[in-house]
Structure formats: C-alpha cells, structure tokens
Amino acid sequence: TRIAYNKDASEMFGNYAGLDPLHLPKRSAPAVSLAVDNSDQVLRAELRKIILEELKAVLAA
C-alpha cells in the first residue's frame, strides 16, 4: 500500500504494521488536587467581588 505523502518511490515510508494503537503504553500524569487551598482565600474573595460586579452590570443593562 502506498501513502500519498511523497511522489518519489525511493522515499520510504515507515512500516507501522506492528503497532496496535489500542494497546499502547499509558503515559502517567501527576495527580491533580481538587481540594480548595485555604491560602487563596483573599484571591477567591477578590474574584467573587469582580464576578458580582460584572453580573450586576450585565443584569442592569
């Protein structure tokens, strides 16, 4: 079977017949913590304030 990447027949395309994409090794990723960090309370309060101001502006329009 030829793949239409290069017209030159001397340019060899890799043989991937032995690959099984359904059984490839899994890559590990670091665990993501979903817990709320209490040290960010000031930032969270500021974000709430900004969001509330934006919502008030949208609803008043």
Which residues constitute the domain of residue 60? 37-61
Residue of 40 and 58 predicted with greater confidence: 58
Q: Where are the beta strands (DSSP E) in the chain?
A: none
Establish if 50 belongs to a structural domain: yes
**pTM beyond cutoff 0.85:** no
SS3 46: helix
| Mean per-residue pLDDT over the chain, rounded | 80
- Residue 12 identity: M
pLDDT in tens, 20-43: 888 877 888 887 776 666 667 888
Contacting residues for 6 by C-beta, under 8 A, at least 6 apart: 13
Establish if 53 belongs to a structural domain: yes
36-42 long-range CB contacts below 8 Å, 24 or more apart? none
Q: Structural domain tally of the chain?
A: 1
Look at residue 37 in the predicted model and tell me its pLDDT: 62
Mean pLDDT of 2-17: 73
